[in-house]
Amino acid sequence: MGVFSEGSHEQIVFCQDRASGLKAIIGIYSTALGPALGGTRFYPYASEEEALHDVLELSRGMAYKNALAGLDLGGGKAVIWGDPEQIKSEQLLRAYGRFVQSLNGRYYTACDVGTYTWDMDFVARETRFVTGRSVEHGGAGDSSILTAWGVFQGMRAAAEHRWGTPSLSGRRVGISGLGKVGKYLTGHLIEDGAEVVASDVSPKALQWAAKTYPQVSLVPDNAALITSDIDIYAPCALGFALNDETVPALKAQVIAGAANNQLAHPGVEKLLMDRGILYAPDYCVNSGGVIQVADEIEGFNFDRAKLRATKIYDTTKRILELADAEGISPATAADRLAEQRMSEVGRLRTIRL
C-alpha cells in the first residue's frame, strides 16, 4: 500500500529523536468522524518498510473499527521501531509524547503490542492527547479487559448464528496467543463451560496457563492448534493468521479472535466462505479495548464502557445477518456498515455552524 494511493491516509508523520533512540511513525487514516484514535505498537520490525506497512494497515483498520463501534473518532495508529526490551525508556516515551502533542489533537494514542498503561503515563507527561493510562493516574487501565470481553460477546453471537445458541458450553475453542487478551478470554470461556485448547510462542505464557487453568489443553504451536478438533478458532496474537496455508488446514467452523488484520490478503474471506467457515470480523469483535480507552476521554466509567462493549454481540449479529441477506462475506458486510457511518455522519461536518 502506497502512502499516496487512492482513498488512502490523510497524514503520515515520521518521528525521530536520536538521543533517546526513538524512531516512530504515526499514521492518520481518517478524521471524518473525529480525532484519530489508535494505540502505539512497539515492535522490532525487520525494516522501515515493514514498520510503514504495519502502521498503514493498522491505522486504516482503526478507522473502520471506531466507526463500527459507534465512536465519534477517526482512525489512527503509531508504531515505534525497536525492541521494547532493549530500548524502551522514560526519555524515549516522553520524546514520543512530544511528537503526539505536536499534532494538536488530530491523533490520540493509547496502548498496543509492546506498550502498557504505565508507558502511557510517561507519554501523558508530554501530551494531553493520550488515553489508556493507569487507574492511579485517572485512566481506564488495562484495555485488554474489555477487549477480551468484547471478543467473548462476538464469539457468542457467531455461535448463535452457526449453532442456534449463544452458549459456548461444550464447545472446543482454540486460542492462539495467551498474552494480554488471550488470558482474559480464557477465563470467560471456562466460566461459560467451554473447553479450551491453546498455544503460545512464549514459555512464560504457557507456564501461566498451566498454573492458572490446568484444565486448558496446551499444544506446541499454532499449526498444531488449527489442525486440532476445535469448533472455534480465536487468533489472539499478531495479524495475518488467516492465509492460503492456514485456512485449508482449519477444522474450526467459526473464527472469532482478538488479533488485528487477521485476513492476510483480499480473497481470504472467499476461501473461508467456500469452506463454510463463519468469520466474525476482527475489527468488530476486538473493539472492546478501543471502546474502553475512548471512554477515558469522557472521564472513565468502567460500567458504562463495559455496557458499550457488550453491544459488540448485537453488532456482530447485525453483520452476520447482513452477510447472509446480501450473499456477501462478513468482512464485506462489516466494511459496508463502517463506510456507511463514516460517509453519513462524516458528511455532517460539511454543514457550516
| Blockwise average pLDDT, block size 10, the chain, 353 residues | 71 98 98 97 97 93 96 98 98 98 98 93 98 94 94 98 98 96 97 98 95 96 96 93 97 96 94 98 96 95 97 98 98 97 91 84
Contact between 114 and 41 under an 8 Å Cβ cutoff? The reply is yes
Contact between 178 and 204 under an 8 Å Cβ cutoff? The reply is no
Residue-level pLDDT at 170: 97
> Is residue 177 a known part of a binding site?
yes
How far apart are alpha carbons 50 and 53 in whole angstroms? Answer: 5
How far apart are alpha carbons 37 and 233 in whole angstroms? Answer: 28
Contact between 37 and 27 under an 8 Å Cβ cutoff? The reply is no
Give the β-pairing of 172-176 and 74-81.
unpaired
What burial class does residue 78 get, using C-beta atoms within 10 Å of its C-beta: 0-12 exposed, 13-18 middle, 19+ buried?
buried
* Category of 7 on φ-ψ map: left (φ > 0), alpha (ψ -120 to 50) or beta: left
Tally of CB atoms within 10 A around 127: 22
How far apart are alpha carbons 187 and 284 in whole angstroms? Answer: 21
Distances (CA, A) of 58 to 62, 225, 243, 315: 6, 26, 18, 21
> Is residue 181 a known part of a binding site?
yes
What backbone phi and psi angles, to 5 degrees, belong to 31?
-120, 25
Residue-level pLDDT at 4: 74
For residue 298, the SS3 value is helix
Contact between 212 and 230 under an 8 Å Cβ cutoff? The reply is no
> Is residue 320 a known part of a binding site?
no
**Which grid cell is 19?**
538521543
Distances (CA, A) of 25 to 14, 54, 99, 182, 237: 5, 10, 10, 27, 22
**Which grid cell is 203?**
514459555
For residue 148, the SS3 value is helix
What residues are annotated to the active site?
77
> Is residue 23 a known part of a binding site?
no
- In this structure, what is the dihedral angle of CA atoms 22, 27, 32, 37, given to the nearest 10 degrees? -50
**Which grid cell is 114?**
509492546
Give ∠ CA 251-269-262 in degrees, rounded to 5: 75
> Is residue 65 a known part of a binding site?
no
Residue carrying C-alpha cell 500500500 = 1
> Is residue 182 a known part of a binding site?
yes
